[in-house]
Structure 1
Amino acid sequence: MATHVSPAPAPPVAAPGWSGQQHYPPPPPPPVRGGRRRGPIGLWILAGVAAIASIAALVLSVIAVVGKPSDVRPAPTTSAAPTSTAPIVFDDAADRPLCEALPDLMREANSRSNAFIATPVDSPERKAAIPRFKAESEAWATRMQQVIAAHSEPSRYLTRTLQRYVDDVLLYSQNVYPERPYDKFDDATWNLAIVDYGGALGRCQQLGVHW
């Protein structure tokens, strides 16, 4: 009995460019989960853009606040121009009553001064006379000051020169002491008092008042 042999299978048909190896379709790409992942550079770029946007918003808000006009405006201030009055030199109506109140006080000052300077400088007599001279000069200056205050308006040549004379007498009497030797600078104060005394004396003599 003859044996039946099945024919061998035919080889696959070769495609163009086939090298004898069987081709298979490429596998599908993996599914994307949660969006595409960004690298470090991309994250830094996003952070920088966000920061710039925040700064720009802040600047715009500040400009809006500053540029907004205020509802409350300060009231304009007005300052009055200072008025100046020229110093008065002579005022017969005011000077005459003051001169008439001076003779007794000025004669008292003359007598005290003449008695004091009649004693030799640095002598026992001068040192003994200093305490009384100081006390009497201060009491006299107090009474003189009351007279000047009663006739002080307006300020004028007579009131100013008379005030200087009173101050000079006080300055001299306050700077001499029995225990302190003679100081040549005291002479300058004494002489200044005489000069200021002459201002009041001359003005009152112009008005017919003498002492």
Structure 2
Amino acid sequence: MATNPPPPAPPGAPGFPGNYPTPTPGRVEPRRGAVALWVLVGVSTIVSITALVLGVIAVGNSAQAPASTPPASEVPASAVPILFDDDADRALCEALPDLMRESTSRRNAFIATPADSPERKAAIPRFKTESEDWANRMQQILAANAEPDRYLTRTLQRYIDDVLLYSQNTYPERPYDRFDDDTWDLAVVDYGGALGRCQQLGIRWQ
């Protein structure tokens, strides 16, 4: 007796083509969400570390950076040394001739005596006293005409110091020292600086 084949399974029943179980969103999405969360945490950590490193570098650079200097236009004019000021130089030069002649005369008379001679040794105490007195008077004149600081005031100050240095290093009881000649020659050079500048302004003492 022939048997009838079993009726086909209704749609949705087990074994019906296309009705095999498929992964549901609840089983996959949590895994993807966890991976995305860890990726986000990792990126945030890297960004934070990078920002921290850059901040430390910036602080270090700012601490090591030298203090900025103001542009030349902001430097006070009074702080910049100058070479010449005709009005100020003329006023100073007019006060110099008598004192410069006095210094030249005394110094020439002193070295006219032979080194280590009795005449030179006898002249030393007076030479020292008169040189110091002259330096004091010269310093007062220079102080009254010291502004602005300029070439003439600087070279004249050196001359005063050279004259005083030479006389202070000369002693009757000490033998002649050839190195004193260097001090003498330096005074001559600085004397020429003041002489030349005053002659430019028409004031002479030689």
TM-score range, shorter chain: 0.5 to 0.7
Equivalent-residue separation in structure 1 for 2:80 and 2:132 (angstroms): 33
Q: Distance in 1 between matches of 2:110 and 2:88?
A: 33
Counterpart pick for 1:83 among 65, 75, 85 = 75
Alignment of 1:155-174 (within 5 A): 155-174=149-168
Aligned position for 1:95? 89
Runs of 4+ in structure 1 off by over 2 angstroms are 79-86
- Residue 179 of structure 1 corresponds to 173
Paired residue secondary structure (2:122): helix
Aligned to 2:200: 206
How far apart are the structure 1 equivalents of 2:112 and 2:165? 20
Aligned-pair Cα RMSD in Å: 1.5
Report the structure number with the largest CA radius of gyration: 1
Partner Cα separation in structure 1 for residue 140 and residue 101 of structure 2 = 17
Q: CA deviation at 1:192?
A: 0.2
Structure 2 equivalent of residue 118 of structure 1: 112
Distance in 2, matches of 1:80 and 1:191, equals 41
Query: Structure 1 80/86 Cα, relative in aligned 2: closer, same or farther at 3 Å?
Result: closer
Give the Cα–Cα distance (whole angstroms) in 1 for the partners of residues 104 and 142 of structure 2: 18
What is the TM-score when the length of structure 2 is the normalising length? 0.62
Whole-angstrom distance in 2 between the partners of 1:86 and 1:141: 28
1:82-138 CA distance string (max 9 Å, x none): 835331101101100000000000010011011101100000000000000000000
- Aligned to 1:184, the other structure's residue is in SS state coil
Q: Match for residue 53 of structure 2?
A: none
Gaps of 5+ in 1: 1-78
Q: TM-score, normalised by structure 1?
A: 0.61
- The Cα of 1:142 is off from its aligned counterpart by 0.1
Aligned AA (1:194): V
Provide the aligned length of Structure 1 versus Structure 2. Answer: 133
What amino acid sits opposite 1:83 in the alignment?
V
Aligned with 2:134 (options 134, 137, 140): 140
Greater share of helix: 2
Q: Runs of 5+ in structure 2 lacking a partner?
A: 1-67
